[in-house]
Amino acid sequence: MTALLEVEAVCAGYGRAQVLHEVDLTIEEGSITAVLGANGAGKTTLLRSLSGLLKPWRGRVRYRGRDLLSTPVEDLVTIGVAHVPEGRGVIAELTVDENLRLGGLWRRGSTAKDETATAVRDVYALFEPLARRRNNPGHQLSGGERQMLALGRALVAKPSLLLLDEPSLGLAPPVTASILALLRHLRDETGLSVLLVEQNVHSALAIADEGVVVSLGRVVARGPAAQLKADEGLRHAYLGF
Amino acid sequence: MSRFVFLTFNGLSFGAVYAAVALALVLIWRTTRILNFAQGAMAMATSYVALTVTQHTHSYWLGFAAALVAGFFIGGIVERVAFRRAEHAPHLNTIVIGVGLLILMQAIAGMLYGQANRDFPPAFSTTTYKAGGTALFSNEDIFTVLSVLGLMAVLGVLLTKTPTGLRMRASAFAPEVARLLGVRVARLLTLGWALAAVAGALAGMLVIPTGLGLYPGAMDGVFVLGFTGAVVGGLESPVGAVIGGVLTGLALSYASGYIGSDITQLAALVLLVAVLLVRPNGLISRSAARRV
């Protein structure tokens, strides 16, 4: 495997409050990496720092060898990085179809419209409830449908790396399970790499290849998901089970 | 009855102008949460551009087109230069910037053109058609209403049927998400300001020839009534802005016709208070507007 994303000594925060302290991380091509930790550990801040929504104070982030921190947020999607933010980011005022088409508007050229139309059709095939509600505005969707829409919109861009923040938030366990299973399916079928921030440790480690445990803005453990799950001391100290 | 019909047509004509101003204010408010108090002054400036072009070319329509083009550029420049850095600042900061810009533009217009009220020719005849002795409307009234309807149609198609419109709406509703999807939010905000200024420029070109005349403070009163229309409509919805603008025009026309011209400003205030008492967020409030 080769490194898709390399994070070195990233420090970030809000105002004068430092949240991330020298965070190191590597994401391999075609892998799912779960970032685990309690509320306030810095998981969401880490994702926001990687996508540039929050400018890190220092450190290096390289995506396929390219300096991600000097890449404008608007260009991330064009190089294959999609970020589904906390709260899903479904635009409630736009219809399902408009939300999905928005995911492909970064494309340029004569084939852009067709490529996006095909990608949107693929998403409808993947998430049938969305196809039935394509003309409904986002605010009329259930929590599960919103998560499908957020994920589907990211997939319309055909990313290589998906930064996914708390997909299980507010969802019933069966819905969460189906969405996480889908991530695994996408990894297997398309080679999609996923950096998954998740509080539901059991579900996340069940589908992840690697795990990173964050506490108070520091990486306190990392390794294969199965190994983290088996480490009783770690589970008690940081993962709460 | 004939008086009512005349006042209705008169109200619709002026209401269309207020609707254009309201539309300009709403287009900016819903994307940046800024109330552009310089909107009227910007329309005044574009009307002076039209006057200059018309005087040099002897073509009303070249002047008309110049006003709209000037509005587009002035709107974009004002956003980039005056408001860009203050878009996330407290409301008071942007109000001060808007009022400062208003004073600056009026001062510059006064230095360049003087304070005298200049006649500006209408595009069409202002002689009213009559039916059975009842005055109805003039060709200029028809032009005014059709122009604003045309503007609404163009903006409606742009916002709802084109990729640029989709990007603009995404930028307005969820700028951070839009950026993650590759949308150049800052550019689209500039475009929104430019389009809003075109709407304001159109309002100026429609109302100044109706006897108002052109002088540095010509659009002040029109701005206040357009603002009334925007608040009545709900500030969030372009459709609400148009409805609010037309209602303001009708209310003022009826008040002026049945009670007296001195009462018109008070009528606008009464309309504003009455609507806000019943619907504090305006006729088409935020939640309703987002379901359209």
Q: How far apart are CA B238 and CA B215, in angstroms?
A: 29
- What is d(CA B100, CA B75) in angstroms, rounded to the nearest whole number? 16
Using pLDDT thresholds of 50, 70 and 90, give the confidence band for residue B105: very high
Q: What is the pLDDT of residue A52?
A: 92
pLDDT digits (tens, 9 = 90+) for A123-143: 999 999 999 999 999 999 998
Task: Work out the pLDDT band at B290, boundaries 50, 70, 90.
Answer: very low
User: What are the structure tokens assigned to A118, written together?
Assistant: 């095909």
For B236-273, write each residue's pLDDT tens digit.
888 999 999 999 999 999 998 899 888 888 888 888 89
**Banded pLDDT at A228 (limits 50, 70, 90):** confident
- Give the pLDDT score at A241: 64
Q: In the predicted model, what is the mean pLDDT of residues B272-279?
A: 89
Which of A97, A106, A96 lies closest to A75, judged by CA? A106
Q: Which of B172, B182, B184, B169 is nearest to A103 (CA)?
A: B182
Lowest mean pLDDT among A14-23, B127-136, B162-171: B127-136
- On chain A, the residues whose CB falls within 8 A of the CB of B167 are 102, 105
A102–B179: do the CB atoms touch at under 8 Å?
no
- Partners of residue B166 in chain A, C-beta under 8 Å: 94, 98, 101-102, 105
Residue with the bigger pLDDT between B262 and A146: it is A146
Smallest CA–CA distance, residue A52 to chain B, in Å, is 9
Residues A158, A163, A165, A171: what is their CA dihedral angle, to the nearest 10 degrees? Answer: 30
**Maximum distance among all Cα pairs of chain B, rounded to whole angstroms:** 63
Average of per-residue pLDDT values in chain A: 90
**Facing A98 at nearest CB: one of B166, B177, B179:** B166
Maximal C-alpha separation, chain A: 56
- pLDDT at B288 (0 to 100): 44
Residue given tokens 């008040």 in the structure block: B255
